[in-house]
């Protein structure tokens, strides 16, 4: 018997089955049978991708689980053939011409319908439209096109005033607390995204420093917290892409005028502010918001993959030991930076629902290595989870994590007994 679960409409329809005969999974975004089969499916996709490099469409065989209600059951059933698009660029679906037309249509009106834009953005945004769409999704730019230019000009001038008032002043005019905060930010900026050479440029670090210091000064309830420096980086790269072309590694801030740098910083500041407004208690004293989500993650993993949950508990591994950083930095340190903006398309499309949906994304991310984790002892698990092997990931693996997260949200969030319900 099949039933269609109506949850988020963003990634498409999710088919849940209880029957034992093989299913045609061609309508699914990612044909996952559960976390236990994720690694093998990823490996299979990569092998197909390598052997058919010159083809855009390939037919690949994927195994379907006989029941999604038992994600741990082994699958020996028949293989189903499904069409999949394999491309080497990040967010291949986002550059599909049909999707591009939909985005263009949504942006062309006098007012943008944000729910429709969220639905489109969930599956990835075309890179050249990302600055405009991120501003809209975060509510920084108004949906009314007639007001947009004026609002952005005013907000950018407001940021400039803040820089003059709070940053461009001698230390003698700062409190001891402000001096210490600025010093901490200055120490953290060179450590931000250390594997991307662009972020080692002095001008880039100064921009980050200004953005973070102004944010901290204007948000005294939390002040600056390590990890917020990571959260500014996707915005910086996206808004710089309006002025700089080519690979991020070839960019130089020296090629920009002072006005362009100021505009980029302002957009980063306001978008970072909008993002953090939705998760304020993640960065206040003791970070209670993150601790709450870590607990929810532990409970969700227990429901989805009891063997992994039991093994981690038997080994004495606390979720706080590895997932605190995931929530604190929104997974930026765990995946290649080239994939971060695609991941953030989904984050920003979630809007106010993002904090709780992070639990599902991180559960999907963790259980990518379900089999591996069950073979590791405490110290090995700690080391593994602090350095997860994602360096060779492409958009394929990321899309699978997001699709699995979406499916689990659809299944569990609608359950009256689930810990996230109510």
Over the chain, what is the mean pLDDT? 82
- Model confidence over 153-169: pLDDT tens digits? 999 999 999 999 999 99
Angle, helix 202-218 to helix 176-188, in steps of 10 degrees: 140
Burial 364-389 (b: 16+ CB within 10 A, else e): bbbbbbbbebbebeeeebbeebeebe
CA distance readout (Å), 196 to 34, 148, 193, 233, 395: 33, 33, 6, 11, 18
Contact 255/204 with Cβ under 8 angstroms?
Answer: no
Using DSSP, state whether 139 is helix, strand or coil. coil
C-alpha closest to that of 257 among 243, 267, 242, 245? 243
Tell me the average pLDDT across 142-146. Answer: 96
Q: Higher-confidence residue: 174 or 45?
A: 174
Burial 229-261 (b: 16+ CB within 10 A, else e): bbbbbbbbbbbbbebbeeebeebebeebeeebb
Distance in angstroms (rounded) separating the CA atoms of residues 284 and 278: 13
Distance in angstroms (rounded) separating the CA atoms of residues 25 and 152: 45
Contact 409/10 with Cβ under 8 angstroms?
Answer: no
Q: Which residues contact 314 (CB under 8 A, 6 or more apart)?
A: none
The DSSP code for 336 is: -
Contact 407/413 with Cβ under 8 angstroms?
Answer: no
- Model confidence over 206-253: pLDDT tens digits? 999 999 999 999 999 999 999 999 999 999 999 999 999 999 999 999
The DSSP code for 29 is: S
When pLDDT is cut at 50, 70 and 90, the band that residue 413 belongs to is confident
Residue 8 has pLDDT above 50, yes or no: no
Residue 255 has pLDDT above 60, yes or no: yes
Report the pLDDT value the prediction gives residue 418, as an integer from 0 to 100.
52
Distance in angstroms (rounded) separating the CA atoms of residues 317 and 379: 9
Phi, psi dihedral angles at 75 (to 5 degrees): -110, 115
Report the pLDDT value the prediction gives residue 223, as an integer from 0 to 100.
94
Distance in angstroms (rounded) separating the CA atoms of residues 148 and 135: 10
C-alpha closest to that of 82 among 36, 33, 35? 33
C-alpha closest to that of 328 among 293, 296, 356? 293
Q: Higher-confidence residue: 4 or 267?
A: 267
Please, which residues bridge with residue 14 across strands?
Answer: 5
Q: Which residues contact 405 (CB under 8 A, 6 or more apart)?
A: 357, 360, 361, 363, 364
C-alpha closest to that of 140 among 161, 129, 155, 121? 155
Please, which residues bridge with residue 61 across strands?
Answer: 81
Q: Which of 41-55, 67-81, 314-328 has the highest mean pLDDT?
A: 314-328
Report the pLDDT value the prediction gives residue 195, as an integer from 0 to 100.
94
Structural element, H or E, at residue 79: strand 79-85
Report the pLDDT value the prediction gives residue 86, as an integer from 0 to 100.
39
Tell me the average pLDDT across 330-341. Answer: 98
**Could you count the other beta carbons within 10 Å of the beta carbon of residue 290?**
23
Q: Where are the chain's structural domains?
A: 109-278, 288-414
Report the pLDDT value the prediction gives residue 45, as an integer from 0 to 100.
40
User: Of 9-23, 294-308, 376-390, where does mean pLDDT reach its minimum?
Assistant: 9-23
Phi, psi dihedral angles at 374 (to 5 degrees): -70, -10
Structural tokens at position 379 = 């110290």
Report the pLDDT value the prediction gives residue 145, as an integer from 0 to 100.
95
Identify the CATH assignment for 288-414 out of 3.80.30.20, 3.40.50.720, 3.40.440.10, 1.10.472.80: 1.10.472.80
- Model confidence over 280-291: pLDDT tens digits? 899 999 999 999
**Greatest distance between any 2 Cα atoms in the chain:** 75
Percent of the chain's residues with pLDDT above 90: 74
Report the pLDDT value the prediction gives residue 364, as an integer from 0 to 100.
98
Report the pLDDT value the prediction gives residue 93, as an integer from 0 to 100.
54
User: Of 23-37, 102-116, 393-407, where does mean pLDDT reach its minimum?
Assistant: 23-37
Q: Which residues contact 103 (CB under 8 A, 6 or more apart)?
A: 120, 125, 126, 129, 133
Contact 182/213 with Cβ under 8 angstroms?
Answer: yes
Report the pLDDT value the prediction gives residue 64, as an integer from 0 to 100.
34
Tell me the average pLDDT across 52-81. Answer: 36
pTM beyond 0.75, yes or no: yes
- Model confidence over 83-135: pLDDT tens digits? 333 333 444 555 588 999 999 999 999 999 999 999 999 999 999 999 999 99
Report the pLDDT value the prediction gives residue 319, as an integer from 0 to 100.
97
Distance in angstroms (rounded) separating the CA atoms of residues 22 and 65: 8
């Amino acid at each position: 018997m099949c039933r269609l679960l109506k949850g988020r409409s963003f990634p498409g329809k999710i088919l849940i089955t209880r029957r034992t005969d093989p299913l045609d999974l061609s309508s699914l975004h990612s044909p996952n049978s559960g976390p236990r089969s994720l690694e093998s499916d990823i490996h299979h996709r990569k092998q197909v991708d390598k052997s058919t490099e010159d083809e855009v469409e390939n037919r690949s065989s994927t195994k379907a689980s006989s029941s999604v209600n038992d994600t741990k059951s082994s699958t020996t059933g028949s293989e189903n053939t499904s069409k999949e698009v394999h491309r080497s660029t990040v967010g291949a679906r986002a550059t599909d011409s049909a999707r591009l037309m939909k985005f263009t249509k949504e942006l062309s009106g006098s007012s943008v319908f944000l729910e429709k834009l969220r639905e489109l953005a969930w599956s990835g945004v075309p890179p050249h439209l990302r600055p405009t769409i991120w501003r809209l999704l975060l509510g920084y730019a108004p949906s009314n096109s007639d007001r947009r230019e004026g609002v952005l000009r005013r907000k950018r001038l407001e940021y400039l005033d803040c820089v003059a008032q709070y940053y461009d002043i001698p230390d003698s005019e700062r409190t001891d607390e402000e001096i210490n905060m600025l010093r901490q930010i200055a120490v953290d900026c060179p450590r931000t995204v250390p594997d991307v050479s662009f972020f080692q440029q002095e001008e880039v670090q100064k921009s980050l420093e200004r953005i973070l210091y102004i944010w901290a000064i204007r948000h005294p309830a939390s002040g600056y917290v390590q990890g917020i420096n990571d959260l500014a980086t996707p915005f910086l790269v996206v808004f710089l892409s309006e002025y700089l072309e080519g690979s991020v590694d070839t960019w130089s801030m020296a090629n920009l005028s002072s006005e362009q740098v100021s505009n980029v910083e302002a957009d980063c500041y306001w978008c970072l502010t909008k993002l953090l407004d939705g998760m304020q208690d993640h960065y206040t004293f003791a970070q209670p918001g993150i601790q709450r989500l870590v607990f929810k993650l532990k409970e969700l993993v227990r429901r989805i993959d009891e063997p992994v949950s039991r093994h981690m508990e038997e080994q004495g591994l606390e979720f706080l030991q590895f997932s605190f950083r995931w929530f604190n930095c929104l997974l930026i340190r765990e995946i290649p930076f080239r994939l971060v903006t695609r991941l953030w398309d989904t984050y920003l499309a979630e809007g106010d629902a993002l904090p709780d949906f992070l639990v599902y994304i991180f559960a999907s991310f963790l259980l990518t290595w379900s089999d591996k984790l069950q073979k590791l002892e405490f110290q090995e698990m700690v080391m593994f989870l602090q350095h997860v092997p994602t360096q060779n990931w492409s958009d394929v693996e990321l899309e699978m994590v997001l699709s699995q997260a979406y499916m689990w949200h659809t299944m569990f969030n609608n359950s009256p007994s689930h810990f996230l319900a109510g």
